[in-house]
């Protein structure tokens, strides 16, 4: 009987052991090359699997792609989009778009964990969306959608017992997604308490990381969406053969006029009719943002994680602060004073620590055809971004000198009213 069972189940058991051995072996074994076409496809795919993974991002960045961190703005492809301009005019860089709807600072911090070698002493672009900085910060369901055990395991194998990593561990413990693996959750609790990991936890995390890395190498490129690459190729056909700012500005104006029609916000007519027209006619959106604030939020501390990571890796970063469509802002009652205060607060957090490469477009919300919808750049907005991104990435830049301060993790900073900023600066020098 035993021999019969062994004949039946033996091959299955052996296969399971072999699969486990392959997945758990060191990641250099079974390495899969990523083709140039696959990198090109992944760079604009906005695929959650690419964002959660490692292999494709790592290989593309090694081959000269530049990480563009952000969120839903990257999906607004038009001829002036950074990916389109870089392709058409054969720039010496190509954007690798990292982020989609719902990805905020905490997600981006963990995205950085398995591409540290590709960020060290390199350049990056980072879009700061004011909409991230609401009362409760990042939504737990949105964070969970992009959560990656691979990135967390990678981080836990090289964390430091300092205020930065203790904050990151505590923040992750607040997310239901962290409970998806009991052993990782227990390790996070030790890091949050300022303790070293046990020998078993280190062994488990290294094995788990190897398994997840092998899985990523095998599966991350399968069924990679190609729709966005097709969109980039189509949009590039509308551009003039040779780069000319004036010609592109005229083209952006013409495309903007054709796309916006006569809706009251001068935004994409397609977006207006699909997402806003019915509510506008009902009057349900008028004044609905009058009590909204972007000045008090845990997002300021989450954002500090990204800044500290850039500092540790000596990454030179260009930050972009997009505007809000001024017609939409007035219609919904979004406070102009509050928006200026947010701008002041985020500038202080950046510049007081040595992050001085800032493209602040917050005052451009009333420029015609600058925005494709209520909060996202388009046409002339992307062209304005290109005026700063292209020279930053194409030319040599002086080395950054960062002076980091853990005060930006404090509850005081997260909830600080901008009116108290001057006094706070004096008290915390």
pLDDT digits (tens, 9 = 90+) for 45-73: 999 999 999 999 999 999 999 999 999 99
**Predicted confidence (pLDDT) at residue 16 exceeds the cutoff of 60:** no
At 26, the pLDDT band (50, 70, 90 cuts) reads low
Torsion, Cα of 150, 154, 160, 166 (10° steps):
0
Mapped onto helix, strand or coil, the DSSP state of residue 317 is strand
Cβ burial 388-414 (10 Å sphere, 16+ → b, else e): bbbebbeeeeeebeeebbeebbbeebb
pLDDT bucket at 385, cuts 50 / 70 / 90: very high
Q: What is the pLDDT of residue 12?
A: 43
> Structure tokens of 296?
């008090």
- Arithmetic mean of pLDDT over the chain: 92
Q: What is the pTM of this model?
A: 0.92
The pLDDT assigned to 31 comes to: 54
What is the C-alpha to C-alpha distance for residues 378 and 376, in angstroms, rounded to an integer?
A: 7
| Model pLDDT, residue 417 | 86
Question: pLDDT tens for residues 228-238?
Answer: 999 999 999 99
Question: Does residue 368 surpass a pLDDT of 90?
Answer: yes
Res 419: pLDDT: 81
Q: Which two tokens stand for residue 230?
A: 């097709």
Half-sphere exposure of 154 (CA within 13 A, CB side): 21
Question: In this model, does residue 220 exceed pLDDT 90?
Answer: no
CB of 58 closer than 8 Å to CB of 43: no
Q: Is the pLDDT of residue 321 over 70?
A: yes
User: What pLDDT digit, counting tens, does each position of 159-193 carry?
Assistant: 888 999 999 999 999 999 999 999 999 999 999 99
């Amino acid at each position: 009987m035993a021999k019969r069972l062994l004949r039946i189940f033996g091959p299955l058991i052996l296969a399971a052991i072999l699969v486990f051995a392959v997945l758990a072996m060191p990641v250099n074994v079974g390495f899969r090359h990523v083709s140039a076409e696959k990198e090109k496809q992944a760079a604009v795919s906005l695929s959650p699997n690419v964002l959660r993974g490692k292999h494709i991002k790592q290989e593309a960045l090694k081959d000269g792609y530049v990480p563009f961190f952000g969120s839903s703005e990257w999906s607004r492809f038009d001829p002036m989009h950074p990916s389109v301009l870089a392709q058409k005019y054969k720039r010496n860089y190509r954007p690798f778009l990292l982020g989609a709807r719902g990805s905020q600072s905490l997600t981006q911090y963990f995205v950085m964990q398995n591409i540290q070698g590709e960020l060290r002493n390199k350049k990056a672009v980072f879009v700061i969306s004011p909409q991230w900085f609401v009362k409760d910060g990042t939504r737990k369901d949105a964070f969970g959608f992009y959560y990656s055990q691979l990135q967390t395991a990678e981080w836990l194998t090289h964390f430091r017992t300092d205020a930065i990593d203790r904050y990151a561990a505590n923040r992750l413990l607040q997310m239901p997604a962290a409970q998806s693996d009991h052993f990782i959750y227990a390790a996070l609790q030790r890091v949050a308490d300022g303790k070293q990991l046990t020998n078993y936890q280190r062994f488990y995390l290294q094995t788990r990381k190897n398994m997840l890395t092998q899985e990523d190498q095998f599966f991350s490129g399968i069924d990679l969406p190609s729709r966005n690459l097709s969109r980039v190729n189509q949009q590039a056909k509308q551009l003039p053969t040779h780069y000319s700012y004036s010609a592109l500005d005229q083209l952006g104006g013409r495309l903007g006029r054709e796309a916006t029609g006569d809706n009251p916000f001068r935004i994409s007519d397609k977006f207006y009719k699909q997402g806003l027209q019915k509510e506008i006619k009902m009057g349900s959106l008028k004044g609905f943002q009058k009590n909204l604030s972007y000045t008090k939020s845990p997002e300021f501390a989450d954002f500090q994680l990204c800044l500290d990571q850039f500092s540790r890796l000596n990454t030179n970063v260009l930050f972009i602060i997009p505007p809000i469509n001024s017609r939409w802002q007035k219609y919904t009652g979004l406070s102009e004073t509050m928006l200026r205060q947010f701008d002041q607060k985020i500038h202080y957090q950046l510049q007081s620590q040595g992050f001085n490469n800032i493209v602040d477009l917050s005052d451009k919300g009333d420029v015609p055809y600058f925005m494709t919808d209520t909060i996202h750049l388009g046409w002339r907005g992307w062209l304005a971004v290109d005026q700063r991104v292209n020279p930053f990435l194409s030319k040599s830049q002086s080395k950054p000198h960062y002076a980091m301060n853990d005060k930006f993790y404090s509850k005081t900073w997260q909830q600080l009213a901008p009116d108290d900023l001057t006094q706070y600066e004096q008290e915390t020098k």
